[in-house]
Amino acid sequence: MTDTAAPQLLHLVIGGELKDISRPEFRDLSQVEFVGAFGTYADAKKAWKARAQATVDNAHMRYFILHAHRLIDPAQDAPV
């Protein structure tokens, strides 16, 4: 039996309140929210979108998708 599933690519979703909306610098690092770790970009994007929409009333709140698989193995240049 062969495994035809797409390779697991680790994506992390984090977010928090920014000091200034023009720079990705968090107001308080101890308050950064770890939304989760996801094996596909599509799953990470769903989680990112849900959290971003839930906090839409706070203009300083931002969520980010980190392509952790690229940090772990920089040679891995998989499509997003």
Q: Where are the domains of the chain?
A: 11-69
What CA–CA distance (Å, rounded) separates 72 from 80? 16
Specify the range with the lowest mean pLDDT, choosing from 6-15, 25-34, 54-63, 70-79: 70-79
DSSP string, the chain: ----SPPP--EEEEEEEBSSTTS--BS-GGG-EEEEEESSHHHHHHHHHHHHHHTTT-TTEEEEEE-HHHHH-TT-----
Task: Encode pLDDT of 28-47 as tens digits.
Answer: 999 999 999 999 999 999 99
Per-residue confidence (pLDDT) for residue 57, from 0 to 100: 94
CATH topology of domain 11-69: Alpha-Beta Plaits (3.30.70)
Model pLDDT, residue 75: 73
Lowest mean pLDDT among 5-9, 15-19, 37-41, 73-77: 73-77
Question: Would the pLDDT of 74 be above 90?
Answer: no
pLDDT at 70 over 90: no
